[in-house]
Amino acid sequence: MTRASRITRLSTELANQIAAGEVVERPASVVKELVENALDAGAARIGVSVELGGKRLIRVEDDGEGMTPAEAELALERHATSKISRLDDLAAIMTLGFRGEALPSIASVSHLLLRTRARGESRGTEIRVSGGGTVSTREVGASEGTTFEVTDLFFNVPARRKFLKSDGAETTQVSRLVTQLALGHPTVGFSLTSGRRQLLQCPPASSLEERLFQLYKDRDDLVEVRKQAAGITVTGFVAALAGPGEGPRRGPQNIFVNGRGVKDRTIAHAIVHAYSVATIKERSPEVHLFLEMPPDRVDVNVHPTKAEVRFLEQSLVHEVLRRAIGEALEQGPAPEIGLDPVAPRVGRAEGMALGVGVTSAASAIDQGGWRPVSSTEGGPAVGFSPDGGGQPFRDLVREMRPTAVVPAPVVDRPLQPLGQFRDTFIIAIDDEGIAIIDQHVAHERILFEQVMERLTTGTLESQQLLMPMVIELPAAERQALAAHGEALARLGFDVEAFGGDSLRVSALPAIVDLAACETALRALAQDLDGLDQGAVIDEALRQMAATTACHAAVKANDRLTSEKMAYLLDELRRTAHSSVCPHGRPVVLRLSRKEIERRFERT
Ligand SMILES: Nc1ncnc2c1ncn2[C@@H]1O[C@H](COP(=O)(O)OP(=O)(O)OP(=O)(O)O)[C@@H](O)[C@H]1O
Ligand SMILES: [Mg+2]
C-alpha cells in the first residue's frame, strides 16, 4: 500500500501571496512596482497619491501606453509579462520590470482596482481583484493610460500589517522612493500627494540638473561627475569637499544602473574610497550617480525586488567610478582656506588634514581671489626682512586668505627647501614663488596616502618587537581593538589580549616608531570604539590608516635635515589628490612671484 502523497500543488493565490512576501514589503514597495510599470509603459507623467502612509490607499496614475482588455486580464496573472519572452532577453533588458510577478503579488494581498485604456482604443477596462480573486471585470470610459488603486494593503496578512511602521514613517518611505524615481527619470513628470498634502511636484524636466533643482533646490555644494571609460558612463552630482571643519555634505545616496535604482556594495565601496583619499570627515556623502553600461554586462536578475545587480566586471566598475568621483572632487569648488591653523579635531585622528596645495592658492591669487586685509590689522609687526623694511611678514601672511581655492595639482614643480621656520614649517622656493609647508600635515598626508595605497593591495609591512609591549586599556577600547584584530593585522599590528586590562603588542607597522606605538594604539582604540556598530572593515581601516599616519608623521618642533625636507617635498609632489583638503587645514601656503613683485612694486 502506498501512502497518500504529502506533496500538493499550492493554489495560485497562495503561491502569489508567498511571492508577495518577497516583493511587497510595505506601501513603498507597491509604489515602486506600480511606478516602474508606468515608466516601462512610456508614461510622460505619473501621479502618486497615498492615504495613511499607503496603508489605506495607494493610487498610481499614468498616461502611458495602457492595456487592451485582454492584456489587462493577463497582466494580473502570475508570470505574465510583455517585457521578455526568452531567457536571452534578460541579457538585453532595458525595462525595469521583467519578472511578471509584481501585479499578481500586490493583488493577492490587497483590494486592487485596475482601470486602463490602451492608446488608440475607444473604451477602457476596469478590473477589481480582492485577495487575488477577481471580483469584477467591465468596460468603462477611461482616459488613455493606466490607474491602479491598491486599498487595505495586507488586509489578509495580519502578520505583515503588524510590521508596518506609523503612517508618517511609511509616508516618508514612499516620499523617499518617489523622489528617487523622479531623480532617475528627469524627463518624466512626477507628483506625490499624501492625503491632501502635496509632497512633490516635478513637471517633466529637460535634464538631470533641472530635476535636481526641482527636488533639492539650488545646490552649489554638489559637483558634477562626468566620465566615460571602459564602456561605462558615469554621470551625476556628488557632494563637494566643503569648507574647513564641515566635510562634504551628508545626504541621500541615489545610485542608478541603467536607470534602475540599486544598492550595491561595489559602488558603495568605490564612493567611500574616492572620498577617503580626499577627506576623512564624511562617511556618507550625498551622491546622485548614474551608471550606464551595456545591459549584457550587468545581471539584473539577482533579487526579487530588483534592487541589487551583479556586475560582470566588478573591479572595472569600481575603478571607473572611483576615478570619476575623484576627478569631480578635484574639479569642484574647493574649501576656503585660512591661515589660522585651527583644524577641528576629528575623533582622535587629530590633524588628519591632508591639505590644500601650493598652486591652488597661487591660482586663487591669479584669479583675484585674495582679500587684502588692512595692514593695521594684526598684532605687532614682526619684520621679515632684516632691515624691517617693506611690509611685515606676519601681516603679509595674514593677507593670504583666499575666498575660494581653485584646485590644481598641488606641488607640480620641484620645490627647493631653504630651511625651517620655528622647526615647524618648511620654507621652500621655486621659480613661481615661495612656499611655506606645514611639515606635520604634509608628512601625515603623504603617509596616509601611502598607507591607503598599500592597504588596497594587501597589508602593511610590520616590525616584530624584540620585547613585546604590554599596555593597559579600558574594557571598551580593549574590546574594540580585539574586535578589529584582522584590520589591525593588515595594518601591521600584532595585538592580543593579555589578561586583565592588558594587551600585548608583539608587532607594529614598520612606519610607526616604537616610541609612538602606545599613543597610536590608544588613539586607534578610541577611534574604533567611536565607530558605529557594523562599520565596515574598510571604514575601520581608513580611520586606522589616518591615525597611524598621524602618529608616524614628523611633528611640529622637530628639527629636520635638508635631506628630510627634500624628501618630504618630493613625496608631497608625488602624492595623488594633493589638491584636496579634508578639513581645510592647509598643507602649503604660497606667496606667488606675482604677489611678491606687486608688493615690491616691481610690476
Ligand atoms: N501601468 C501600466 N501600463 C501599461 N501596461 C502595464 C502597466 N502595468 C503593468 N502593465 C503590463 O502588465 C504586465 C505585468 O506587470 P507586472 O508588474 O506584474 O510584471 P512586469 O512589470 O512585467 O515584471 P515585474 O514583476 O518584474 O514587475 C507588464 O509586463 C505590462 O505589460
Ligand atoms: Mg512590473
User: For residue 35, which ligand has an atom nearest its CA?
Assistant: 1
Q: Is 351 part of a structural domain of the chain? A: no
pLDDT beyond 50 at 44: yes
In 491-538, DSSP assigns E strands to 494-497, 502-509
More confident residue, 179 or 485: 179
How high is the pLDDT of residue 68? 97
Ligand 1 pocket check for 95: Cβ under 6 Å? no
Task: Name which residue sits closest to atom 19 of ligand 1, judged by CA.
Answer: 100
- 467 and 510 part of one domain: yes
pLDDT beyond 70 at 534: no
pLDDT in tens, 351-363: 222 222 222 222 2
Give the CA count within 13 Å in the CB-facing half-sphere of 116.
28
Using CA atoms of 324, 325, 326, 332 in order, give the dihedral in degrees to the nearest 10.
110
- 144 and 258 part of one domain: no
Ligand 1 pocket check for 275: Cβ under 6 Å? no
pLDDT beyond 70 at 283: no
Cα 319 to its chain centre, rounded Å, is: 15
- 228 and 189 part of one domain: no
Ligand 1 pocket check for 477: Cβ under 6 Å? no
- 276 and 393 part of one domain: no
- 27 and 168 part of one domain: yes
Query: What separation in Å is there between the alpha carbon of 167 and the centre of ligand 2?
Result: 25
- 155 and 266 part of one domain: no
Q: Is 213 part of a structural domain of the chain? A: no
pLDDT band at residue 12 using 50, 70 and 90 as cut-offs: confident
pLDDT, average across residues 133-141: 95
* Mutation choice for ligand 1 from 58, 77, 81, 121, CB with most ligand atoms inside 8 A: 81
pLDDT band at residue 332 using 50, 70 and 90 as cut-offs: low
pLDDT in tens, 428-479: 998 888 888 889 888 888 887 777 777 766 777 888 888 888 888 888 888 8
More confident residue, 535 or 205: 205
- 55 and 187 part of one domain: yes
Distance CA 203, CA 199 (A): 13
How high is the pLDDT of residue 30? 97
Ligand 1 pocket check for 282: Cβ under 6 Å? no
Ligand 1 pocket check for 46: Cβ under 6 Å? no
Alpha carbon separation from 525 to 208, 456, 519, 598 (Å, rounded):
43, 22, 10, 51
% residues pLDDT > 70 (the chain):
79
pLDDT beyond 80 at 396: no
- 59 and 176 part of one domain: yes
pLDDT beyond 90 at 51: yes
pLDDT beyond 50 at 582: no
Ligand 1 pocket check for 68: Cβ under 6 Å? no
Range of the domain at 55: 12-202
Q: Is 347 part of a structural domain of the chain? A: no
Tell me which of 202, 232, 253 is where a domain ends. 202
Distance CA 125, CA 115 (A): 6
Query: What separation in Å is there between the alpha carbon of 499 and the centre of ligand 1?
Result: 62
Task: Name which residue sits closest to atom 1 of ligand 1, judged by CA.
Answer: 38
Mean pLDDT of the chain: 79
Q: Is 349 part of a structural domain of the chain? A: no
- 504 and 521 part of one domain: yes
pLDDT beyond 50 at 141: yes
Cβ atoms of 72 and 104 closer than 8 Å: no
Q: Is 63 part of a structural domain of the chain? A: yes
Q: State how many domains the chain has.
A: 4
How high is the pLDDT of residue 105? 94
pLDDT band at residue 489 using 50, 70 and 90 as cut-offs: confident
More confident residue, 20 or 575: 20
Distance CA 392, CA 433 (A): 18
Tell me which of 313, 331, 349 is where a domain ends. 331
How high is the pLDDT of residue 486? 79
pLDDT, average across residues 278-288: 75
Using the structure block, give the residue that is written with the C-alpha cell 612694486: 601
Alpha helices (H) in 149-197, listed in sequence order: 158-163, 167-184
Query: What separation in Å is there between the alpha carbon of 177 and the centre of ligand 2?
Result: 16
Tell me which of 552, 567, 588 is where a domain ends. 552
Q: Is 480 part of a structural domain of the chain? A: yes
Ligand 1 pocket check for 417: Cβ under 6 Å? no
Indicate which CATH number applies to the domain containing 542: 3.30.1370.100
Task: Using the CB atoms, write b or e for 483-504: b if 16+ within 10 Å.
Answer: ebeebbebbbbbbeebeeeebe
Residues, the chain = 603
User: For residue 115, which ligand has an atom nearest its CA?
Assistant: 1
Residues 6+ apart with CB under 8 A from 587: 353, 354, 355, 356, 357, 410, 437, 438, 441, 442, 445, 572, 578, 581
Cα 208 to its chain centre, rounded Å, is: 18
Q: Is 298 part of a structural domain of the chain? A: yes
* Beta-carbon count within 10 A of 88 CB: 9
Distance CA 175, CA 177 (A): 5
Cβ atoms of 287 and 223 closer than 8 Å: no
pLDDT in tens, 81-113: 999 988 888 888 889 999 999 999 999 999 999
**pTM for the complete prediction?**
0.62
Ligand 1 pocket check for 102: Cβ under 6 Å? yes
- 150 and 250 part of one domain: no
Question: Nearest 5 degrees, angle CA 188-CA 190-CA 192?
Answer: 165
Query: What separation in Å is there between the alpha carbon of 119 and the centre of ligand 2?
Result: 19
Instruction: DSSP for 230-297, please give it.
Output: TTEEEEEEEE---STTT-SPB--EEEEETTEE---HHHHHHHHHHHHTT-SS-SSB-EEEEEE--GGG
β-pair partners for 436: 427, 589
Query: What separation in Å is there between the alpha carbon of 47 and the centre of ligand 1?
Result: 17
Ligand 1 pocket check for 99: Cβ under 6 Å? yes
More confident residue, 497 or 110: 110
Instruction: DSSP for 428-469, please give it.
Output: EEETTEEEEEEHHHHHHHHHHHHHHHHHHHS---EEEEEEEE
pLDDT band at residue 411 using 50, 70 and 90 as cut-offs: very low
C-alpha radius of gyration, the chain, whole number: 30
Ligand 1 pocket check for 100: Cβ under 6 Å? yes
pLDDT in tens, 233-270: 999 999 988 654 567 888 889 999 999 999 998 899 88
Q: Is 341 part of a structural domain of the chain? A: no
Residues 6+ apart with CB under 8 A from 530: 347
pLDDT beyond 50 at 342: no
State the closest ligand 1 atom to the C-alpha of 103, by its place in the atom list counted from 1. 18
pLDDT beyond 60 at 159: yes
What is the torsional sign of CA 515, 521, 526, 530?
Answer: positive
How high is the pLDDT of residue 88? 85
What the block records as the C-alpha cell of 174 is 514612499
- 18 and 143 part of one domain: yes
Indicate which CATH number applies to the domain containing 315: 3.30.230.10
Indicate which CATH number applies to the domain containing 425: 3.30.1540.20
Query: What separation in Å is there between the alpha carbon of 97 and the centre of ligand 1?
Result: 7
State the closest ligand 1 atom to the C-alpha of 64, by its place in the atom list counted from 1. 3
Ligand 1 pocket check for 145: Cβ under 6 Å? no
- 327 and 379 part of one domain: no
How high is the pLDDT of residue 403? 26
Query: What separation in Å is there between the alpha carbon of 58 and the centre of ligand 1?
Result: 17
pLDDT, average across residues 384-407: 29
